[in-house]
Amino acid sequence: MEIKLVENVKEVPCDVLIISKFKDKETTSDLANKFLPEDFECKKGEIFVIHTHGEQNAKYILVVGLGDEKDLTNNVIRESVSKAIKKCACLKAKKVAVEFNTDYNYGGPALLGASIANYHFDKYKTKKDHRINEFYLPSDVDVELVERAEVVSEAMRFSRNLSNEPAAFATPTKLAEIAQGLEGIETEVFNSAKIQELGMGAYLAVAKGSVEPPKFIHMKYTPKHAKKKIAIIGKGLCFDSGGLDIKPPSSMLTMRDDMSAAASVIAIMRAMAKLKPDVEVHGIIAACENMPGAGAYKPGDILTAMNGKTIEVDNTDAEGRLTLADALCFACKLKVDEVVDIATLTGACMVALGTAATGIMGNDEKFIHDIIETGKIAGEKYWELPMWQEYRDQMDSEIADMKNTGTRYGGASAAGMFLKEFVTDDVKWAHLDVAGTAFIEKPQKEFLCGGSTAAGVRTMIKYIIEQ
C-alpha cells in the first residue's frame, strides 16, 4: 500500500473517499449530509456508503461514524478506519482516500488502521487476496506522526509475515539470517557449541530432539547517548510439537506460531533502527524447535541453566520457559535496566484471558503498570496475573531446584514464577504471555484476518520511544 499525501483529497480520482461523521456535526460532503439516513447512529465504526454516480472524483463516499468528537482517541480512529478499509475491499477498491473534519491528528492512526486491515498472508496462494494499493491523506496531517505510523505498520506486517510462515521456512537458522541482515543493528548468533560453552543447558536440552540446529540470536541497537538499556526477549520456538510429551493433533496445528514473539522482537529491532530512540535496545531470541527426535530431552532429565539452577523435566511440552530461562540469565548479565520477555507461553493464559488480553507479570509494579498503560494507548490490552509463592511451591522437586511444571491449575502464574528464578533482583522485569493474543484461528474484530497479530509490537515500540 503506497501512502500519498495530497493537498486536496477531494480532487483525487479514487474508488472510495472515507469521511468522518461526528455526533452533532455535519460532514464536509453535501451528498452525505443529504443522503445519510436518520437512523445512522454515529456509533464508532458505523459505516454508510454512497455511490456518487460520477458526480465526484471518488466513486463512493464512505461515511464512518466516530462518535463524539471530544472523545476521539487513536484507538477509535484506528479501529474505525480498519473497518472502513474492510468495506472498501468488499467494494473492490484499489485507491482509497481519507479526510476527516477534525483538528485531531488522525493521520497516523488512520494509516495504521488501514495497514492492519489491508494485511493478508497470501504468499503461497496463486490467486492473491484483494488489496488496497494506494492510500491518500491530506498533506496538512502531522507528517512525523504519519511516518512513525508507517514504521509501526511495517513492523506489524513484518512480524505477521514471519510468524505466519510455515515452520519449514521460518527455521532457527532462517531467523538468525534475517536478524543478521537488519540494517543499523549489530547481530551476534551463537551456535550449539557456543550455547553449551555459555552454560545454557536448559535451552540446549529443548533443541536436542530436532535436526534443526538451535541459534541464539543477540541483536543490539546502540544510540549515541543512551538514557536507558532495555532488553526484549522473544520466545522463538520455530515449532512446538510438545517433544516426547507430544501434543494432540488439534493443539499442534498452530504451533508454527510458537515463534511469533521472536518475529515481533526482530520487527521491533528493525523499527528501532528507523526510529532511533535514545535507548540501548537488545533483542534476544533463543531459537530452536521442540521435537521428539531420537536425541530428544526426556521427562526426568535434570538440566542446569546458565545461572547454575537445576531443573527436573516434568513435561517436555513446557519448553518455552526452559529456553527463556537461559535467555533471561543472558539478558541480566548485560546489565540492562529493564527486561521484557514476550512469549506464547501457556495454554492456561489463553484459557484465563481468551484472545482479548495478554497476561502480564513481573517483579516491579510500576514497570508493569507503565506497560499496561502504554498498551491501552497503543490499542493492546494487558491483564496482570498474580505472582504468589503458592504457584512456585507447585514446582518444588525432590531431586532438583525446581520442576518445569506445576499442577493443572494456575499455569500462567506458575510459568511466571518459574521465569522469575532466572531474573536478578537488580533488573526490572516484565513477562508478557501472548499465547492467546499472538495468533488467532479465525478472523477477529471485523478487520483482523486469521493468523498472526504481531502482539506486543505496538506496545513495545511506543514504550521504548517514549523513554
**Site stretch for Mg ion (CB under 5 A), options 144-152, 208-216, 238-246, 456-464:** 238-246
Of residues 241 through 260, those in contact with Zn ion by CB under 5 A are: 258
Between residues 258 and 312, which has the closer beta carbon with respect to ligand BES? Answer: 258
Q: Which helix (H) or strand (E) holds 429?
A: strand 428-433
**What stretches of 379-456 show up as alpha helix (H) in DSSP?**
389-393, 411-420
- Cell numbers at 462, concatenated: 511506543
Is residue 245 involved in binding Mg ion (CB under 5 A)? no
Q: Which of 94, 220, 247, 420 is catalytic?
A: 247
**Site stretch for Zn ion (CB under 5 A), options 105-113, 149-157, 236-244, 324-332:** 236-244
User: Looking at 240, 312, 338, 421, which residue binds Mg ion (CB under 5 A)?
Assistant: 240
The site for Zn ion, by CB under 5 A, has a size of: 4
User: Looking at 32, 237, 372, 402, which residue binds Zn ion (CB under 5 A)?
Assistant: 237
Q: Which does 411 bind (CB under 5 to 8 A by kind): ligand BES, Mg ion, Zn ion, none?
A: ligand BES
Is residue 317 involved in binding Mg ion (CB under 5 A)? yes
**Site stretch for Zn ion (CB under 5 A), options 97-105, 159-167, 182-190, 237-245:** 237-245
Between residues 169 and 409, which has the closer beta carbon with respect to ligand BES? Answer: 409
Between residues 246 and 377, which has the closer beta carbon with respect to ligand BES? Answer: 246
Q: In angstroms, rounded to a whole number, what is the distance separating the alpha carbons of residues 344 and 234? A: 9
Q: How far is the CB of 296 from Mg ion (least distance, A)?
A: 13
Q: How far is the CB of 263 from ligand BES (least distance, A)?
A: 14
Q: Find the angle CA(27)-CA(33)-CA(39) to the nearest 5 degrees.
A: 100
Query: Is 171 exposed, middle or buried (CB count within 10 Å of its CB: 0-12, 13-18, 19+)?
Result: buried
**Site stretch for Mg ion (CB under 5 A), options 141-149, 150-158, 319-327, 335-343:** 319-327
Q: What DSSP state is assigned to residue 444?
A: B
Polymer length of the chain: 467
Q: Are 208 and 295 in contact (CB under 8 A)?
A: yes
- Cell numbers at 196, concatenated: 553449551
Q: How far is the CB of 234 from Mg ion (least distance, A)?
A: 16
Active-site residue 321, yes or no? yes
Q: Find the angle CA(199)-CA(203)-CA(291) to the nearest 5 degrees.
A: 145
Active-site residue 247, yes or no? yes
Nearest to 391, CA basis, from 356, 346, 437, 330? 346
Residue 105 identity (one-letter amino acid): N
Q: In angstroms, rounded to a whole number, what is the distance separating the alpha carbons of residues 415 and 406? A: 9
Nearest to 163, CA basis, from 259, 235, 242? 259
Residue 337 identity (one-letter amino acid): D
Between residues 289 and 319, which has the closer beta carbon with respect to ligand BES? Answer: 319
Is residue 289 involved in binding Mg ion (CB under 5 A)? no
Tell me which residues are annotated as active site.
Answer: 247, 321
The binding site for Mg ion (CB under 5 A) comprises: 240, 317, 319
